Each structure stands twice: as C-alpha cells, then as structure tokens.
Amino acid sequence: MSQAPNQADAGARISPGGSAGPALRKMNIARVAESFALLAATIALAAVFGILMPHSFLSWANVSTMLGSQAVLVVLSLALIIPLTAGDFDLSIASMLTLSSMLIAVLNAQLGWSIYAAMAVAIVTGAVVGVINAGFILYFRIPSLIVTLGTGTFISGVVLWISGANTISGIDDGLVSWVVVRHIFGIPLAFYYALLLCVAIWYFLGYTTAGRRLLFVGRNREVSRLSGIRVDRVRFLCLIASGVISSATGILYAGTIGAADPNSGTTFLLPAFAAAFLGATSITPGRFNAWGTLIAVYFLVIGITGLTMLGIQTFVQNLFYGGALVLAVALSQLVRKREPQDFT
Amino acid sequence: MRKFAVGSVAVFGSLLVALAGSQAKAATPDLAQAQAVINAHSQIPDFVPPGPPFDARKCMAGKSLLSIPTSSSIPFVDGIENSMGSVAKQVGFKFQQWKNQGQPTQWVQGMAFGIDNKFTGIDLMGGIIPNALAPQVAAANKAGVKVFATHYSDTTQPADPAVAVTLRIPFHEVGEIIADWITLKTGGHANVLIVGSSDILPSKPYADMLGATLDKVCGPGCKHRYVTVTVPTWSTKIQTTVQGALIADPTINYIVPLYDSMSQFVIPALTLTGHRKNVKIATFNGTPFIIDMVRRGDVEMDIGESLGWIARSILDGEMRNMCGLPSIGETLYVPLYIFDKDNAKDAGIPADFDRGYGDKHVAGYAKLWGMQ
C-alpha cells in the first residue's frame, strides 16, 4: 500500500530557497485541519442530532449506550487495520468473530466448560485461523483477498455446523458482567477494553521498532526487503494478530448479548471496512491508524443512532455506511495525491 | 407335534402380518378431513372477540411502547410495525419504532433507549429471541420496564419466563393446512420436498407437523423429505438444493418453501430442470409479490396472515398487560387464510400486504377497545 508522504517530506518539497515559511505554516494548518476534520464532523453530527432531539440524543444514558454497545465494532475495526497497514486484506474477521462467539456459547452454555477455558479456545482458534490465512497467502502467493474470502466462507460453514444454525443463549453471567453490566463513569467496560486496544495499537505502530517495520512493509515491500526487514514474517504476524483480535471481538460480542447466533456477526464486515478507511483520513491522514479508526466508528455510530432515533427508514443506514466508505476512500486518495494503492 | 404347532403359529403369524401390511397399503387418504380443514381456511375470516372489552384510550393514557423489530428491512415485519404505529395513534398513546437492520448490537441500543427513556413497555417483535438479549431484558425488568416478545415462535415452543407477555403464532397449524392441501390436490399421491431454515426458531415444529400430517392424512401414498437452507444463503443455496433434489428424484411433485419469500429461488430451479408444469409450490406468509405469483400461476397457494390483524392482536395483548388486565392467552389471534388462483386478485393488483382478508378485524378491535 502506498502511503502519503510524511510532514517532513512535504515540508522539504515546498521549501526551496528558504522562502517556504508562510507556505509551510499554511501547509501545516491545512494538515492539522485535515487531521481533525473527521473529529469535527463527528462533533457537528452529534450537535445536529442533539438539536433535533435534545432530551434523548444528548442524554448521558444514550452516549453511554452508544459507546458501550458499539465497542465490538471498534475492536473489530482495529483488528482489521493491522493487516491493512501491512497491505493485506482480511475478509475473514467477521466470520472469525462469529466463530469465536459461537465457540464460547457451545463450549460454555451447552457443554458446561468454564468461561475461561472457552475463551482460551476461542483465542487459540483465532491464532490458528491467522496461521492458515498467512500460510496460503505467503507460501502459495495467493492474494489475501481471495484467501480470506475463502477462509471466511469456510468458517461460516463451521459456525453453522457447530451451532446447528441455532442461536445459543445462556452464556456465563460472569462474562456478561465484565463486558456490559459493570460500568465506569456510567459507560460499560466493553468501551474501555476497546480504548485500551486503541492505545496499544497506537503505541505499537508509532513508538516501537516492530511497529515502524510494519509501516515500512505496508509502504513498499520490496524496499523493506532490501532494507533487511523480514517482510513475510511481518505479514505473517499481522494476520495472526487480526485473527486473535477478531476472536477477542467475538468474546466481547458474546458478552454484550449473552448469546451467540450464527449469522449476525458477519454484518459487521462492511462497517469495519468503512471505519478503517474512514479512519485513514483522520489524525494521521493517508495511513490506517487507531485513533482515526475509533473516531470513524463513532462517526458512523452517531449517524446511525441518530437516524434510528428519528425513525428514518433503514435504507438510509445503508446509504450512510456505503456513502461514508466510498467518500472516505476518495478523500484518502486525494490525501495520497491519487497514488495507486497496492493491496495483495 | 410340537414342531407342527410351532409351524402353524408361524404360518398364522405370517398371514396376520401380511394381512396387516396389505391393510396399511390399502389405507386411503383422509380426503374428507383434508377438505374440511381447507374449507375452514378458505373463508374470509370473521372476527370473534378474543377477550373481554376494555377502554383502551382511558387505560393507555400516559403509557408508551417502544417496538424493536427483528429487522426493519424485512417488508413483512416493517408492515406490522407501521400498522401498529397507526393503530397506536388511533388509540392515543405514544408508540415508537426502533428501526434497525437486524444487528443484535442495534437491538441492545434499542433496549437501552427504551429503559433510559422510561417507556412503559418494550416489544421484541418478529423474531428476536428474548434469551438472546438476556442481560438487556434483565436490566429492563430491573428498571420496571415491561418486555414483550411477539410473533417469534410456535405455540408449541416454551414461552420465555423473563418477558411479561409472549404472543406466538401457531406455525404448526400452517404445516397442517399445507399438508391437507397437498393431500387433497394429489388425491394422496404426493412426493414433497420441504425447504426450511433451521435458523428460524419455529421452523422445526412447523416442518415436523407438516410431515406428521402428511403421514397421517395422506397416508402411505405420500412421502416427504426436509432440507434446510439458512437465511443468509437463501439467494445462493435454495436454487441449487432444489435442482439437486429434483434431478435425484424426478417424482417430486410438490415443493413447500416454509416461508414464501423462498419461492422466488425455487421457481428458477423448476424452470432449469424442466419441472415448471408438473411440480407445484405451496407456502406460507402472504407476502405480496408471492401472492402476485399465485395470481400468475407460478405458485399454487400461499397461506397469508393479515398484517393489520397481527398488529391489533399484538397491541391487544400488550395493552391488556400494561393496563393491568388479565392475560387472554399466549397465542396471537390471527386467522390463517389461503390464497390460490381464484382469490389472489382480492389482495390487489399488484397485491398489498393487508388486502384480501376482509376488514372485520378493524371494527371488531375498535369495538373491543371501546372506541366505537
């Protein structure tokens, strides 16, 4: 994937002859505005709905519900940006989420396993799926789009098989309690888990050697390889990370509703992609980033919740998700000076 | 002598078994019973008050209801919701829909919205299993908000104890009616492929009763087979599944998609395998575009439920509960009405969700609620 030039590069290009002071300042202001445009749009959207429904939309209870109930989407989107940063698609994340929640339901609610053992199995399964994805992508050199589309479909079949295509309820109250029942400042713990993951990924990508290597690999694999970075190893670990985090999302999902159903998890795929690409236009424009993704999720959530509370027809939700995705990618491309993207 | 006695008993026993076998094979389908059932469901339904009258306007004053449908994208479900909204307006209480696209996290948000905004009741409508939102239902109960679950399961399936009112549909009766229809139309010589979705809760009792009624009423001249295709794969799997079944067994002469929207994927399979003329489709729901297919002859029959009737029956049960009146049962009062080529046009051209069932329920419920 090609990335936008960083600020130093941009500044160097526009400062010949030392007369770039005002131009550089103008450029920096433009970049700051660009970085926080989505955040401003999110606040503006909330303000519009707040004006339309001051008592219900702006209530702390509604804010808390939006933050808590959509933490699942935040974590899944964060799982997605890791392979995207390395230049790989992972279309199996939503199926992995569903498999993870269903494994917990089957093992814990039906077979009587402890919730901890069920969660461990779910996480290990996510890692195994990541290894399988990486194996096909890296060993056989098959595009990630094709491999993860296939494994995602395969996993959906496994979910239907182990669940008998039924919704399974009765998951341990302990998990439910640690996900949505317990609150800090009135917000369910699920939100704080998502926030912690966001901080961890932000720190990893921005302040660790391994994270910088990942960014280099995403920017140009060949140059990275010639620089001594073990490109395949980085991509391998990214795909495992997305599998494991998708599994963790499944655990959150099971804890949010106290049950697992074989189909609904897959509906998170488009919103997760929309959030990842929309997030790439924010905070660090032109690059998939954790904070941008978090803001993007809540931009989408505020939009959908507001439309729902207004009783607007559901097709508008599709217009909003789909429109936001296309618009986000278009904006992202403008930031990149319309450079072609290289996902494999 | 002893050998002779044993031999005689064996021969006698064999004769009895053979006689019994010939009796079973000779058993004829019970066409009279089948005809009686079909007749009962071919009349424009009459309204019989399902319970004692009450003053709905008076007792619902100041009360409010939030309805969370399984997915507002399903026209059938959205039609019921809209009908509930207009009836609530006539009665004069606050009614709000939580429009969603079928994501459980959206239902979670809806539950929280209902609790935070102190609605009197929250209705989980059209397929949401209360147990699949157990933490949120518990929170609502704790906050004093009544939770209702409607039109999501068969009457033979257990009600969820966590909800204040459960109102179910007799899906198994639908299975019985379709089996009787097939028996009557084939004279007891049917080979039926039932196409269901095991991820829809009432599918099992519905398909079980269909099979059992075929065994009982149609008799040995009929056979049936059940295949399941999950909802998200209807568009890709139904056609191939039906094609495969027809190629493997060309004697199939009836296909029963348990839910009528499946029929649109069955018809291409019949066309491709050359069975369009000799294989009939019988189904359930009364979705308008399928009733149009009935009118055009692509589908032989469709059992429909009036959306306006469902909406009123749901509100009747929920208002009684919110008003503190005694329950009148856990079954929705919704007549099952057969559309075939003779009466499909009554549903309108093109067909409409709530036409063709008569309008006795409109005046009937208005009178029951003291509004007339």
Mutual angle of helices B134-142 and A231-257, in 10-degree steps: 40
Provide the pLDDT confidence category of residue B11 given band limits of 50, 70 and 90: very low
Place of tokens 């280099």: A216
- pLDDT above 70: residue A1: no
Best of A308, A316, A321 to substitute, by most chain B Cβ atoms within 10 angstroms, is A308
Instruction: Record the tokens describing residue B232, joined without a space.
Output: 């998200």
Instruction: Record the tokens describing residue B108, joined without a space.
Output: 């979670």
Best of B65, B97, B99, B236 to substitute, by most chain A Cβ atoms within 10 angstroms, is B99
- Rounded to whole angstroms, what are the CA distances from A96 to A76, A255, A269? 10, 16, 11
Provide the pLDDT confidence category of residue B15 given band limits of 50, 70 and 90: very low
Q: Which of A181, A263, A318 sits opposite B199 (nearest CB)?
A: A263
Is the CB of residue A162 less than 8 Å away from at least one CB of chain B?
no
* Lowest model confidence (mean pLDDT) among A15-24, A185-194, A204-213, B235-244: A15-24
**Segment B218-232 mean pLDDT:** 91
What pLDDT, in 10s, does the model give residues B22-76? 333 336 888 999 999 999 999 999 999 999 999 999 999 999 999 999 988 787 8
What pLDDT, in 10s, does the model give residues B140-159? 999 999 999 999 999 999 88
Q: Which of A165, A304, A305 sits opposite B230 (nearest CB)?
A: A165
SS3 label, residue B22:
helix
Provide the pLDDT confidence category of residue B304 given band limits of 50, 70 and 90: very high
**Segment B238-243 mean pLDDT:** 90
Provide the pLDDT confidence category of residue A344 given band limits of 50, 70 and 90: low
pLDDT on residue A336: 64
- How far, in Å, CA of A134 to CA of A240, rounded? 8
pLDDT on residue B17: 42
Measured at the CA of A70, the angle between CA A151 and CA A254, to 5 degrees, comes to: 60
**Chain centroid, CA A317 distance in Å:** 19
Residue A89: CB atoms within 10 Å: 21
pLDDT on residue A322: 81
| CATH 3.10.105.10 applies to domain B56-169+307-334+361-368 | no
**Segment B266-295 mean pLDDT:** 92
Q: Which of B98, B135, B231 sits opposite A263 (nearest CB)?
A: B231
pLDDT on residue A10: 37
**Segment A8-21 mean pLDDT:** 42
pLDDT on residue A24: 65
Comparing CA positions, the residue from B187, B149, B166, B185 lying closest to residue B70 is: B149
The larger pLDDT score, comparing residue B243 to residue A316, is at B243
**Segment A295-311 mean pLDDT:** 88
What is the CB-side half-sphere exposure of residue A128 using CA atoms within 13 A? 9
Residue B248: CB atoms within 10 Å: 9
Chain B residues with beta carbon closer than 8 angstroms to that of A62:
112-113, 116
Is the CB of residue A261 less than 8 Å away from at least one CB of chain B?
yes
Is the CB of residue A308 less than 8 Å away from at least one CB of chain B?
yes
Q: Which of A62, A263, A311 sits opposite B96 (nearest CB)?
A: A311
Chain A residue with the nearest C-alpha to that of B132: A259
pLDDT on residue A225: 93
- How far, in Å, CA of A65 to CA of A115, rounded? 25
Class (C level, CATH) for A36-335: mainly alpha
**Interchain CB distance below 8 Å, B197 and A313:** no
The larger pLDDT score, comparing residue A21 to residue B324, is at B324
**Interchain CB distance below 8 Å, A257 and B108:** yes
User: Is beta strand B64-69 parallel, antiparallel or unpaired with respect to B280-285?
Assistant: unpaired
Provide the pLDDT confidence category of residue B18 given band limits of 50, 70 and 90: very low
Residue boundaries of the structural domains of chain B: 56-169+307-334+361-368, 172-285
pLDDT on residue A6: 40
Instruction: Record the tokens describing residue B362, joined without a space.
Output: 């409109």
Chain B residue with the nearest C-alpha to that of A71: B105
> Which residues, listed in sequence order, are joined to residue B195 by a DSSP beta bridge?
B227, B257
- The fraction of chain A above a pLDDT of 90, given in percent, is 57
| Alpha helices per DSSP H over chain A | 7-13, 21-52, 60-69, 71-85, 93-104, 115-134, 144-163, 173-176, 189-207, 209-219, 221-226, 231-257, 269-279, 290-309, 315-335
Selected residues 103-132 of chain B with any CB under 8 Å from a CB in chain A: 103-110, 112-113, 115-117, 129, 131-132
| CATH 3.40.50.2300 applies to domain B172-285 | yes
Instruction: Record the tokens describing residue A62, joined without a space.
Output: 């509604």
What pLDDT, in 10s, does the model give residues A229-244? 999 999 999 999 999 9
**Segment A275-291 mean pLDDT:** 89
- How far, in Å, CA of A273 to CA of A93, rounded? 10
- Please, are residues A104 and A248 in contact by the beta-carbon 8 Å criterion? no
Q: Which of A72, A165, A169 sits opposite B134 (nearest CB)?
A: A169
Place of tokens 């939102």: B133
**Chain centroid, CA B53 distance in Å:** 27
pLDDT on residue A21: 65
- pLDDT above 80: residue B264: yes
- The fraction of chain B above a pLDDT of 90, given in percent, is 73
Task: Output the average pLDDT for chain B.
Answer: 89
Provide the pLDDT confidence category of residue B21 given band limits of 50, 70 and 90: very low
**Interchain CB distance below 8 Å, A318 and B135:** no
- pLDDT above 70: residue B8: no
What pLDDT, in 10s, does the model give residues A115-126? 999 999 999 999
- pLDDT above 60: residue A19: no
**Segment A25-49 mean pLDDT:** 82
pLDDT on residue A317: 75
Count, residues in chain A: 344
**Segment B229-254 mean pLDDT:** 88
**Chain centroid, CA B352 distance in Å:** 18
The larger pLDDT score, comparing residue A230 to residue B234, is at A230
